[in-house]
Structures are given as structure tokens and as C-alpha cells.
Structure 1
Amino acid sequence: MKNFSIVALLLSVIIWGCDKSASTTTAGGKQVAGRIVYVNTDTLLNQYDYYKDIVKSSENKRFRLETDIANKAKNFQNKVAFFQQKVQQGGMTQEQGQTAQAQLQQEEQSIMAYRDKAAQDLAKEDAKKTEDVLNNIQSFLKEFNAGDKYDMVIGYSKGGGVLFAKEDLDITKAVLEGLNKKYADDKKSGKIKADTTAAKK
């Protein structure tokens, strides 16, 4: 989803790195590069169940908002048409017309304010969910690397900064399985509740 494209962008750079130096010193004093592995961020986002659920939830809420605003706008247009018809038929005094027109203007402004606030609220919620996805991945990678097997985990995506990486450095499958298992466990325990109601179009 477009709103969450920033996630892929952020993950295409370094996902996670240890606080310690990315290199170690041997007894002979030589610097040896630390073990660096990578996660395919395109695959991760396409198959991470939590990410898929929050995208679906965001799409559903956006769809419901658009439907709600469209209904409000249609109702408002009907009121305007009725007002114009009464004016043309001479069905109201000048004072009544001015009052009705002022009420219509106020209602139009109210609809616009509602639309803008709802859009802002959705944007804030999307930003929070984006942060949650990144935090979940980084937190899991720290647990995943509890034994200090790796010094750095980087995000790899087609067209990103990493042009080549050996396949044996790819830990995407293991990370994805772990993330999805943790998400399933969290949902089962009630720690996470995702709105996955399908949008009706």
C-alpha cells in the first residue's frame, strides 16, 4: 500500500546493527570483518502477516471514510438542490433564504472539517503502525541474534543500495518464520488485535 511504502524505504537501509564494533581483533592484532547477513525486505513485507494485516486494516478504514464522506456530500447536494428549487418557486422569503443559505454554508464547512480531520487521524495512525512494524522487526532481530552470531543485519531490496549479496548470507526465511510465529502467538494471547475486516467494494 502506498501509505506504507515508507516502511520498505526504511528497511532498504540498515535494519539493525549491534552496538559493538562490526569488526573483531584476532590475537595477532589483525582486524577481521564481522559476520554480516541480510534480509530481503521486499519478501519480508509481502509475507509478514502483521504488516499485511495492518495494511488491510488501513485500506478498510480509508474505504469506510471515503464512503462516509461521499454519503455526507450526496446528502448535502440534495439539500442544496432542494433549497434552489424552493427559491426558484418562490417558496421562501428573502430572510428565510438567507438563513437557509447560511446553514448550508455551515454544513459544507463542517463536512470539509470532518474530512480533513479524519484524513489527518488516518495519517497519524498509519505513521504509528509504520513505526510499530519497524520496532517489531528490530526487536525480533535482537532476540534472533541473542547469541551474537551476527554483527549486522542489513535490508536488501531490488534497486536498493546493496547491489550484490551471496545467497548464503540471506536469513530472510528464518526471520520471516520467527516474526510470523511471534505475531501468531501475540494474537492468540490477545496481546495484538488486528482489524482484518474485508472492505466491501
Structure 2
Amino acid sequence: MKQIIAILVLSISLISCNQSATTNEFKTAYIDTSKIMDESTEAKDIEAKYKAKAEEMGAELKAEAAKFENEAANFKKNAMANGQAWAQQKGAELQQKEQQLQYAQQGMLQQLQGESGTEMDSLVVKYKKVFKDYGKDKGYDYVFGTGEAATVLFAKDSYDITKDLLKQINDKYKSEDKKEEKPAAVKK
């Protein structure tokens, strides 16, 4: 009799454990955040913008560097003919110009890194909101992130919602872009 009661209690407890496990199932998914940043149109546009800006600013520096190289070549030609005092003075001037070019290059790089970093940080904040809203709209309990800062070590591919989010982000960006491009109607 005690065995039957023990088996009955054990059966009831197993059934109740199974029921509580099924009622506490979570809807989960993950996003490859690196893929979002690499493939989103807006992130690509920001990257292209700063690449073009770097090329533009770099062209100005290249012109200054070429001018400096010409001065240095002339210095080498004329150093012996103009004497040691002239060579020391001109050498100091060239050294100062070289240092100014290096400072200008460092300043340009810091400026570009700062501006692009600020813009990319804003984009990350924007995307985090999109991820949160998407998760709420689709009824997810958890949405994990993978990528460079991986928080998911393994997940089935069926839980990957990266493509859906990437499409939503790009579509929204395209529609925002079209709104900005439309000129105001001119009344006659």
C-alpha cells in the first residue's frame, strides 16, 4: 500500500513538473548584430560618407605633403651651395613643417573618428530601440544578440531573426530617405 501511494505521489509530482515546464516556455530569438551593422543601408551610407570625407581631407594633406617634399628636395640640392648656417635654419623650418603636417594628419583622423563614432553610436541606440520594439510586437520573451560581443554561444538557425530585422531597418531607412528628398511643392 505504501508503495502504491509513493508511486502515485511520484507520478503526480512528475506530471505537475511537466505542466509547469510547458506553461513557462519562453519565446526566444537572436539577432546577429554584426550582420545588421555590416549590411544595413544606413550604416553603409554612414561609412561611405566618412570614407568620402577622409578622401577629400586626405587630398588636401597630400597636396601639402607634396609641397613639403619639393621643399625638402630643394633643400638637399642647395644645402652645400648656401652654407651651414643656411642649411641649419632651413632644416629647422622643414622639420617644423613636417611636424605641422603630422599634427594636421592626426587632427584629421581624430576628427573623422570622433564624428563617425558619434554617428555610429547614435545608430546603435536607434537599432536597440528597433530590436526592443520588434521583440515586443512579435511577443518574444527574450531576444539575444550575437556578433562581435556574442551573448549566444549556440542557437538553432530557426531562432535567427536577423534577416527580418535587417529588412525592416532598411525599408524604414529608405522610406525616411524618400521623405527627405521630396522637395516642397512650389505655388505659382
Larger radius of gyration: 2
Which of the pair is proportionally richer in helix?
2
**CA RMSD in angstroms, aligned pairs only:** 3.1
For residues 95 and 39 of structure 2, the distance between their equivalents in structure 1, rounded to whole angstroms, comes to 48
The answer to which of 116-125 and 36-45 deviates more is 36-45
Are positions 1:80 and 2:72 aligned together? yes
Give the partner amino acid of 1:169: Y
- Percent identity at matched positions? 25
Which of the pair is proportionally richer in strand?
1
For residues 159 and 105 of structure 1, the distance between their equivalents in structure 2, rounded to whole angstroms, comes to 44
1:136-147 aligned within 5 A: 136-147=126-137
Q: Deviations over 1:150-190 (max 9, x none)?
A: 12211234994523323332222221111011211222233
The change in CA–CA distance for 1:78 and 1:167 in structure 2 (over 3 A counts) is same
Confirm or deny: 8 A CA contact 2:27 2:142 kept in the other structure.
yes
Confirm or deny: 8 A CA contact 2:135 2:143 kept in the other structure.
no
Q: Deviations over 1:92-122 (max 9, x none)?
A: 783x555433332321221111011111112
Q: How many equivalent pairs are there?
A: 162
For residues 41 and 147 of structure 1, the distance between their equivalents in structure 2, rounded to whole angstroms, comes to 19
1:32 to 21, 24, 30: 24
> 2:51 corresponds to which residue?
59
> 1:130 corresponds to which residue?
120
For residues 36 and 180 of structure 1, the distance between their equivalents in structure 2, rounded to whole angstroms, comes to 23
Tell me the TM-score normalized by structure 1.
Answer: 0.65
The change in CA–CA distance for 1:166 and 1:158 in structure 2 (over 3 A counts) is farther
> 1:169 corresponds to which residue?
159
Q: Deviations over 1:55-91 (max 9, x none)?
A: 222333333444433332221111022123223223x
Q: Indicate the SS of the match to 2:165.
A: helix
Tell me the TM-score normalized by structure 2.
Answer: 0.69
Any gaps of 5 or more consecutive residues in structure 2? Answer: 1-18, 182-188
> 1:182 corresponds to which residue?
172
1:146 positional shift? 4.4
2:61 to 62, 69, 94: 69
Give the partner amino acid of 2:144: I
Q: Indicate the SS of the match to 1:37.
A: strand
